[in-house]
Amino acid sequence: MTVTRYWRIEGFDGTNLIFESDIPHYLLSEKQIEELIRRLVSRHLTENEVVGASLNRKTKRTALLDIRHSTQSPLVISGGDNPHYAARVVDAE
């Protein structure tokens, strides 16, 4: 029996669910999920905040578009403060 796996991507404003999408796991790598989360987070930032989060120098760069990985299983890839987005792999229901 083959189990279909999905990336479940959820966005929250506080504790309110504002976005949810299931994407077949084979369509996106972890790096692509990281970029997708950055794009979703950037929708809630001003142009100046996006520029500040994109700078090379650590002393001037803000962490608004930084991506975090859970340290324990299951893997959760997240980004943003509020609103924030998280992606995890789930089995088809």
3 — pLDDT class (breaks 50, 70, 90):
low
In a domain, 48, yes or no: yes
Range of the domain at 65: 10-91
In a domain, 1, yes or no: no
- Please report, for residues 39, 52, 89, 91, the alpha-carbon distance to residue 73 in angstroms, rounded to integers and kept in the order given: 25, 32, 11, 15
Q: What is the pLDDT of residue 57?
A: 75
In a domain, 64, yes or no: yes
State the total domains in the chain. Answer: 1
Greatest alpha-carbon span in the chain? 52
In a domain, 17, yes or no: yes
pLDDT in tens, 18-35: 999 999 999 999 999 999
In a domain, 76, yes or no: yes
In a domain, 3, yes or no: no
